[in-house]
Amino acid sequence: MTSQPLPEHLRSTHARLQGLLDTAIADQDLPSEAAHAVLQEMLAALEELRVAEEELTAQSEQLAASSATIDEERERFVELFEFAPDAYFETDELGKIVEANHAASALLGIAPRPLTGKLLVTFVDTDDRRVFRRLLARALAGEAVDETQVRLVTRDGRAIDVGITVARQERPSLTSTQLRWLVRDITERLTLQGQVDDLAGEVELLVRAAEVQRLVAGEDPLAITLRGLAELAQDLLPGCQVGMTLLGRSDMERSMSAGERARELDARQRAAGEGPCIETASSATMVRGRPGDWPVLADAHDVVEIVAVPIIDADEVAGALNVYAMDHPVDARELRLLGVLVRQASVALDNATLYVASANLARGLTSALETRGVIERAKGILMAREAMDDDAAFEVLKRASQRENVKLHDIAARIVESVLTPD
């Protein structure tokens, strides 16, 4: 440990005291008065040295206390750094790891010591390394860098989505450029965000499906609804064409498709009696594959993937929703939306069946009321003309119907018309 140089005033006092001592030793015949003065001067100098020693002792104690405080703060910082819940790395300007905390080693599956000296970029997925190097360059330039999503690959090959924030270290004690990296595992966040996006998509789908399913009087509600659902599916699946196969309603199938290519491929499968939509309708399970998986579609080179989802009505397969992906395979989110959509198609079938049954019943009741009115009027005419009661008039009408093999309503209408238009 090297000694600290004395302050200037102490060096001056020490030199003066040394001079007095040298004078006293050299001059053996020094008068008593002068010797006394020299002694007094030496005592004063010694007192100055003693006070200076006390000051130095006090300063030393203060420095020791400050050093202990600094050590405590450093210890606390090290603990915070080591046991922080997020991963921290310190690297040099090349991205070489200088220090890493426990969370960082746990994230990558490597102990802290073996991490030291490794390039952080080696743990970045190859597809994201260009993004990582841009972050490094911006941080070295002193730019503020917002959290950026990057995929890391751990020692055991696991891929982890992380958010990275990097900042340049600005400390006077640093002899070279250092960077600090904050790395957060955002896998759960992305999962939750995906679930939120899925729910938002499903809500939008249900709202739009409810609009589609508004029945239109005077038209075939099933054809209108299913065509609307096919168009909705095509809107929700960019780059796809959508068709439908409905058992027992081949007359509607062309009008239910939402794309010309879908109509063509659906018709080709119906004519051949094979293909994914036929398989789905017969097996009640979703079918997906490439066009080459079915000979009837082997030349459909513009289609990347085909997905056929069964439409269930009253626990029986009523048909299939057919998706022809033209530029990318159908992903998991799109499959979930398709599941919601076919459920709406099933509801549409139920609603249409009820609508048609109700309409038929209403027409039957209207016809019955009209028929009964004509028959009652004819009976009234016979009762007045032939002086007979109600039962006898009805028997006359019934015998005439049987004899002429004409409906009772037509016989009654003829009698009423004869009265309204006499000769």
User: DSSP per residue over 355-390, as a string?
Assistant: HHHHHHHHHHHHHHHHHHHHHHHHHHHHHHHHT--H
Q: Is the pTM of this model over 0.95?
A: no
Question: Which SS3 state, helix, strand or coil, does residue 101 take?
Answer: coil
Alpha helix (H) residue ranges in 273-420:
276-283, 332-386, 390-404, 408-420
Q: What is the pLDDT of residue 244?
A: 78
Amino acid sitting at position 30: L
Query: Number of helices and strands (H, E) in the chain?
Result: 13, 9
Q: What is the pLDDT of residue 120?
A: 92
Q: What is the pLDDT of residue 58?
A: 81
In tens, the pLDDT along 365-393 reads 666 656 677 777 777 877 877 778 888 88
Q: What is the C-alpha separation between 289 and 298, in angstroms, rounded? A: 11
Nearest 10 degrees: Cα torsion 223, 229, 235, 240? -80
Q: What is the C-alpha separation between 60 and 145, in angstroms, rounded? A: 44
What CA–CA distances, in Å, run from 245 to 16, 48, 267, 292?
115, 109, 9, 20
Phi then psi for residue 90, to 5 deg, are -115, 130
Question: Which SS3 state, helix, strand or coil, does residue 288 take?
Answer: strand
Residues lower than pLDDT 70 in the chain: 1-39, 42-43, 68-84, 171-175, 192-223, 225, 248-258, 313-315, 317, 345, 348-371, 420-423
In tens, the pLDDT along 279-325 reads 887 888 889 999 999 999 999 999 999 998 888 766 676 778 888 99
Residues in CB range of 398: below 8 A, 6 or more apart = 408
Spatial strand order of the sheet with 240-246 comes to 240-246, 316-325, 305-313, 287-289
DSSP secondary structure of 106-142? HHHTS-HHHHTTSBGGGGB-GGGHHHHHHHHHHHHTT
Go through the chain and tell me how many residues it has: 423
Burial of 255 (0-12, 13-18, 19+ CB in 10 A): middle
Phi-psi region of 284 (alpha: psi -120 to 50; beta: other; left: phi over 0): left
Spatial strand order of the sheet with 159-168 comes to 97-100, 87-92, 178-185, 159-168, 148-153
Q: What is the C-alpha separation between 179 and 98, in angstroms, rounded? A: 9
